A and B are shown apart, each in its own frame.
Chain A
Amino acid sequence: TSHSQTKDEL
């Protein structure tokens, strides 16, 4: 999902 990709950001 899209938000789990954002989780790899800081």
Chain B
Amino acid sequence: MNIFRLTGDLSHLLAIIILLVKIWKTRSCAGISGKSQLLFALVYTTRYLDLVSTYISAYNTFMKLIFICASYATVYLIYMKFKATYDHNHDTFRVEFLILPSFVLSLLINHDFAVLEILWTFSIYLESVAILPQLFLVSKTGEAESITSHYLFALGSYRGLYLLNWIYRYYAESHYDLIAIVAGVVQTVLYCDFFYLYVTKVLKGKKLQLPA
């Protein structure tokens, strides 16, 4: 554990909490892509299956359980409890275009052709693109609430901090995992346009609005 990984994890946790609290307090999931949240639930489920087979640490188990439970809670709020506020007309990204290529790629490029390993690899590939339905929704409506922007910033920062963690581990521990690194770079790059708008607009108190 190093400072980059810890802040990355905390940033990830913060993002998930921001989203849950936002939906709960406003009793609305307007502006939130249910499809991205479904993909994240799929990502955590397929990645953390090792919960039942391998014990790593109390921290690890605790965080995995939080991520799984929070993602299902978010999906429940969007598709069940606050279904009436769900923006399904704008949430039209075709998720099969993300799920199927991620799955095929995980069959082709993995560390070991074993069920748990392929599901782990699939989750890494799918996570790298799982935010696309959300970014697509923001681009379709042309704007995002500030709280949604904070959520996206925290979620995007998490993988960026993991990249620093991997650079650190490469030098400090001679450890690296190309699958995670390449997917992490892709994931972080997808947020770059948003990061730019966040810094230039949201941090200056303006609403995130895309140029017409």
Which residues of A come within 8 Å of B, CB atoms? 1-3, 5-10
Query: How many residues of chain B have a CB within 8 Å of chain A?
Result: 23
Q: Give every chain A residue within 8 A of B112 (Cβ-Cβ).
A: 3
> Is the CB–CB distance between B57 and A10 below 8 Å?
no
Question: What mask results when residues 151 to 168 of chain B are scored 1 for a CB within 8 Å of chain A, else 0?
Answer: 000000000001001000
Q: Give every chain A residue within 8 A of B162 (Cβ-Cβ).
A: 9
> Is the CB–CB distance between A7 and B5 below 8 Å?
no
**Stretch of B76-84, B176-184, B199-207 with 4 or more beta carbons under 8 angstroms from chain A:** B176-184
CB < 8 Å: which of A1, A2, A8 contacts B56? A8
- Dominant SS at the B interface? helix
Which residues of B come within 8 Å of A, CB atoms? 5, 9, 12, 50, 54, 56-57, 60, 63-64, 67, 111-112, 117, 120, 162, 165, 173, 175-177, 179-180
CB < 8 Å: which of B9, B176, B179 contacts A10? B9
